[in-house]
């Protein structure tokens, strides 16, 4: 297969498997999505979705959030991990949104990445999922699968994002990054991987990945 044939195979397979694409993190608006994505760093969506209702019951907008102390936020979100950093980030960015943006979440990478505890991936998720702006956030699933599929060299997430944006049509980015995440969780996990169920990797995968898999599962 040529690289373009591989890309078409990925797109077609993912759209057959996931014609409707659920958003992994529960939210109701750009602000609650921003907070949920920030909380998901080095945690799981399942854990975050259990904790955000408790936080949003107290404060689901920046004006109410700054009424809480950093310690109060930290106590609520402690189960998701990294709570000292995340609680300071949530309180700090909420104050900035009030001071600079009338309580609204900005819609540019530059403005989002200037907020406390908001990195490039978090900004990309918010732009894509909250505002429909084309973005290709790369998480561990996408980074792993793009390497397995021989669509990137796997050196780092920055390169993986560049390769994804170069290979896939821009109008599909917002759907595809979510479809790849769901596919990675369901069919191509880091652990407990069954290649027979992973039709994309089995069809177009990097030979060294396939060889390594078969060596481990002789």
- The residues carrying an active-site annotation are 121, 139
Nearest Cα to 109, choosing from 95, 120, 98, 93? 120
DSSP run (H or E) holding 3:
helix 3-17
Q: What distance in Å separates the CA atoms of residue 170 and residue 172, rounded to the nearest whole number?
A: 5
Quote the CA–CA distance of 144 and 100 in Å, as a whole number.
38
Torsional class of 81: left (φ above 0), alpha (ψ -120 to 50), beta (otherwise): left
For the chain, the C-alpha Rg in angstroms (whole number) is: 19
Are 214 and 207 in contact, with CB atoms under 8 Å apart?
no
**Cα separation, 115 vs 118, whole angstroms:** 6
């Amino acid at each position: 297969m040529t690289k373009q044939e591989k890309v078409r195979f990925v797109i077609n397979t993912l759209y057959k498997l996931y014609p409707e694409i659920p958003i992994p993190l529960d939210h109701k608006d750009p602000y609650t999505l921003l907070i949920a994505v920030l909380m998901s760093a080095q945690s799981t969506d399942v854990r975050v979705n259990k904790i955000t209702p408790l936080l949003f019951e107290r404060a689901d907008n920046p004006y109410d959030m700054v009424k809480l102390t950093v310690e109060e936020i930290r106590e609520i979100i402690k189960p998701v991990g990294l709570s000292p950093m995340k609680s300071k980030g949530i309180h700090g960015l909420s104050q900035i949104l009030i001071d600079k943006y009338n309580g609204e979440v900005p819609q540019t990478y530059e403005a989002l990445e200037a907020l406390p505890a908001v990195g490039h991936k978090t900004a990309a998720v918010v732009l894509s999922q909250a505002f429909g702006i084309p973005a290709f956030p790369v998480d561990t699933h996408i980074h792993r699968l793009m390497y397995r599929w021989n669509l990137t060299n796997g050196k780092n997430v920055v390169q993986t994002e560049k390769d994804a944006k170069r290979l896939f049509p821009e109008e599909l980015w917002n759907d595809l990054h979510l479809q790849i995440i769901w596919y990675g969780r369901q069919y191509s996990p880091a652990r407990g991987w069954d290649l027979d169920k992973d039709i994309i990797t089995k069809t177009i995968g990097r030979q060294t990945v396939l060889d390594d898999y078969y060596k481990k599962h002789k």
